[in-house]
Every structure is written in structure tokens, then in C-alpha cells.
A = this chain, B = another copy of it.
């Protein structure tokens, strides 16, 4: 058993063909419920046992109901297609008889690929981690047990509720226990920053995600990751947040997009 919180707390134990049990930790809670990316990482632990491909290239999760920390979960994963270069799997996470997540993912091997012309983007310039501001539960107006597992420090321009002047958040992120990032963990980091709308609208409380899709683009180098998240599309209380994550060598390692709800009465 690994001594990293992430490996230990996303582990799954087989209970039958395509079925596993997991213990959902309450250490990843935000506003009283487990972070969605953390629950998704538990499902991915089961999914990657169904094929030879190690890296989650495309992961889509629909968040049906909040999960519960400190309670066991039943995880299911079923093969959709076993291909030469891709394994496509769907999965679910159930607690107390109610489904919390539905997941559809394609795994592949990021170490394999033709030497085509490459396009990429460079990270925004922000102060180094030691000059950034620790993410504050008070500032965001929610309980943040998640801070025991993930350290997030924000560009000072984006750290105060309603003061960024834009729906934008930039900062550095890593596991609190020093575990280096890998392809699996990028799915968690893609969902662990404060909502970017927070910098524009202020203390908005919990922003429920309807659906999150993460594309892992490259295995990250050790060290801090730099995340940049923006929202430029909010209609009828539903918004799209887009994110990019670069590793400590400045390489683009993940992209994310999510559809989330801005709850009535919070602004």
C-alpha cells in the first residue's frame, strides 16, 4: 500500500467481475461533500484495471448527486471497447444505493505517438508559488477539508472574492503530502481550483458540476502544476468553465471543460 493519501484513498478492492468497493475519505471534502474530481479518481482506479492502457486520454463524468465522505462506495466499470491503442470503459459510483457518478473514459498510452508537428500553448506568467496566496476557505465561503490533501496557492490578482475583475483563476497546485503528479491525478487537479466565476461574482458558495470532461495530454514532470481556469459563458444559470494545466517544465499536460450551475440566491 502506498503511503500517499491519493493512492491510499482512491484504492479499490474487487468484489466481483467489474465490481469494486472503495472507502471514500472525508479528507477531500469541499463544502461538506467530497470533491468531484476525487470521486472520479476512485472510478478511474477501477477503470484502468480493464485494459492495458495506463493513461486517461479522455474522461467525462456526470455528477448525479453529491457523494458522502467517510462512507463506502460500490464502483462498477464495464468495458465498452478494447482496441489496440485505446480502451474505452464506462463506470459508476454508488453510495447508500444511490448513484453519484456516471463516467465514460478512453485510456491510451501517452508515451506512444507519431512524431507529428506539434502545437501547444504556454502557461500564463504568474508569481512563483512562494509569492502566491494560499487558497482560503474563508475567502471562498465554504468548508475546505480538501486543503489537507491538496495545496493550492493563487495568483494574488485572483485570490479575493469578486476582486479579479474577470471570471479567471490562476495558481499553483500539488498534493499536500508531496506525492508527485501523474496522469491519473490530473483529473483531480482539474477540478480542485476555486471556481473561476468566484473572482468576478464574489462568495458564491458551492458551484455544482453537472458534467466534467478532462483530456490528459502528457504525463506531468514532478513539481508544482500551474492551472488556469476561465468562464466566459454563463447563460440561464448554467456556465462553462475551461481549464488548462501545465507542469513544472511548462508543458501543457491537461485540458478541462465543465458545465456547472450557479445556484439561485447565491449572488
Q: Which residues of chain A have a CB within 8 Å of any CB of chain B?
A: 57-58, 60, 62, 64-65, 80-81, 83, 86, 88, 90, 99, 102, 104, 106, 108, 110, 112-114, 116-121, 167, 200-201, 210-211, 213, 215, 217-218, 231-240, 252, 255, 257, 259, 262, 264, 267
Q: Are B86 and A257 in contact (CB under 8 A)?
A: no
The count of identical subunits is 2
A218 to chain B, nearest CB (A): 6
Q: Are A233 and B106 in contact (CB under 8 A)?
A: no
Q: Are B240 and A215 in contact (CB under 8 A)?
A: yes
Provide the bound-state CA to CA distance between A201 and B118, in Å.
11
User: Which of A60, A120, A167, A231 lies at the interface centre, i.e. has the most chain B CB atoms within 10 A of its CB?
Assistant: A60
Residues in chain B near residue A83, CB distance under 8 A: 64
Q: Which of B108, B119, B211, B257 contacts A233 (CB 8 A)?
A: B119
Q: Are B80 and A117 in contact (CB under 8 A)?
A: no
